[in-house]
Amino acid sequence: MRAIGVNGSPRKNWNTASLIEHALAGAAKNGAETEMVHLYDVDSKGCRSCFACKEIGGGSYGRCAVKDGLAPILKKVSESDVLILGTPVYFGAETGEMRSFMERLLFPFRTYTPGYAPIFPGKLQVGLIYTMNTAEKDLAVRKYDKTFAASQDLFGHTFGICDLLLCTDTYQFSDYSKYLSTCWDAEAKKKRHEEIFPLDCKRAFDLGVKLTAAASGS
């Protein structure tokens, strides 16, 4: 069994990456071979709208035709059993790198037929992790809940299942005094990070366990 984690954050050692690592650890506990990909290290762009993945009888039907740094990663994902994606929220949505990855991953498997019927040939259990400064109580006010639900629906429709994990009110800086960020209570952020973030990491670990268990049919 293979589980691949995709980090859509430019940081390799902060909230998002930590949660993905815990999810992969949960997957490894169930015997999965795991790998982490940092999108900001990959030389790639978003969908080029070439439609080669839609051309009937074409050599790239059902897969992205672009040959760049993302191509081997997309191949690995299509051959995996579990996909765990993590992204911070930038301006109310996924990071640009994660959104580009989503375009390249999802579009080839969705057809221009009624209901956009998916043609993904395998089975893929997906976990989608979001980290954000916003407090949980403000998600609906900012309409973040609709954004997350839309992405969850895209993955669920394409691959069959997508679990969502939200990590809210995160600790953004190790030293808030260095940055103009007076809308945040630095001490409250630190206290929450010390008390709540470990629980979020445990939820991520449990997510990895759950997804691999579902992939193995246990």
Number of folded domains in the chain?
Answer: 1
Average pLDDT, the chain: 93
CA 104 to chain centre: 13
Q: CATH code at 19? A: 3.40.50.360
Backbone angles phi, psi at 4, to 5 degrees: -120, 135
pLDDT computed for residue 218 by the predictor: 62
pLDDT digits (tens, 9 = 90+) for 14-66: 999 999 999 999 999 989 999 999 999 999 999 999 999 999 999 899 999 99
- Report the share of the chain in percent with pLDDT over 90: 79
pLDDT at 167: 97
Question: What's the domain range around 203?
Answer: 2-216
- Mean pLDDT over 58-80 rounds to 94
Which long-range CB contacts under 8 A does 64-71 form with residues at least 24 apart? 64/104, 64/105, 64/107, 64/108, 66/104, 68/43, 68/44, 69/42, 69/43, 69/44, 70/42, 70/44, 70/101, 70/104
SS3 state of residue 108: helix
Q: Is a pLDDT exceeding 70 seen at residue 68? A: yes
